[in-house]
Amino acid sequence: MKLIKAIVRPNKVDEVKAALEKLQISGMTVTEVRGHGKQKGHTAIYRGQEYNVSLLPKMEIEVVVPDSMADDAIKAIIASARTGEIGDGRVFVIPVLESYKIRTGERES
């Protein structure tokens, strides 16, 4: 199993969600996050004064998928979240050793 963590633009969440659902991946966790990439944000000007916008609002989508589906899921996320501009986000893939259902205690492999 793989845990896929995608940091995407806030307005791209619905599109990413739809793309994953097409792959029958319906379970996911979505979190509002703030951060920056290599550009470390940017400066904005309001009423003549500059201020640093270092932490940009993004959405983090987490899904756990079987190894066999990981590549498709990653591709689907990238395709749906991409605009081609700076700030499109990142996808991280992390191996998952074990998974349990809390209600039943059942272990999933």
Partner 1 sequence: MSSEPHPTATDPRQEARAARTSRLEAARGELAEASGRGEGGRHAMRQYSHRMDALIQQLYADAGSLTQSVAVFALGGYGRRELCLHSDVDLLVLFAGVIGPDDERFLHAFLNPLWDLGLTIGHHVREVQEGAGLEGDNSEFLLALTDARPVVGDATLLDQFLAASDVARTNTRTLEALKALIAERHARFNDTFYQLEPDVKEAPGGLRDLFGAQTVAKLSDPALLTNGGAGTRALEDAEEFLLRVRSVLHLEAGRHHNVLSHEVQERVADRLGYAGSTPSQRVERFMGDYFRHARAIDRSLRFALKAAPAPIGKNLVKGADGVRFIDTRVAAERPETWLALFQAAIDEACPVADDALACVGQNAGRFAPEAFFPTKAHREALLHFLKPRPGLYARLSEMHDCELLGQMLPEFKAINCRVVRDFYHKYTVDEHTLLTIRNLERLANRPSRERERFGRLLNELQAPELLVLSLLYHDVGKWTDDDHTLESAKMARQMFDRLDLDAEQRAEVDFLVREHIKMSLVAFRRDTEDPEIVRQFAQFVGVEERLKMLCLMTLADVEAVSRETLTPWKEELLWRLYVDTYNHLTLTYGDEVIGSEQLLHSALVDQPPADLSAGEVASFLEGLPRRYVQLFSREAIYKHVQVSRDLAPDSVNAWLTRVDSGWELTVLTHDRPFLFSNIAGVLSSYGMDILRGFAFTKPTGLIVDMFHFTDDERFLELNDEGEAELLKTLRDVVLGRMNIAARLRGREQGAFRRRLPGFAPVVHCDNESSRRYTILEIVAEDALGLLYRVSRAMSESGCDVDLVLIGTEGRRAIDVFHLTREGVKLTPDQQLEITGNLQRVLEGRS
Binding stretches for partner 1 (CB under 8 A): 9-12, 14, 32-34, 44-49, 53, 57, 83, 85, 87
Length of the chain: 109
As a whole number of Å, the CA-based R_g of the chain is: 17
Contact residues for 7 (Cβ-Cβ < 8 A; gap 6+): 33, 35, 58, 59, 60, 89, 90, 91, 92
To the nearest whole angstrom, how small is the minimum distance from the Cβ of residue 96 to partner 1? 27
Helix, coil or strand: residue 4: strand
To the nearest whole angstrom, how small is the minimum distance from the Cβ of residue 83 to partner 1? 7
To the nearest whole angstrom, how small is the minimum distance from the Cβ of residue 31 to partner 1? 9
- Is there a contact between 99 and 1 (Cβ–Cβ < 8 Å)? yes
Q: Which is nearer to partner 1, 53 or 94 (CB)?
A: 53
To the nearest whole angstrom, how small is the minimum distance from the Cβ of residue 109 to partner 1? 33
Q: Which is nearer to partner 1, 34 or 71 (CB)?
A: 34
Q: Which is nearer to partner 1, 46 or 103 (CB)?
A: 46
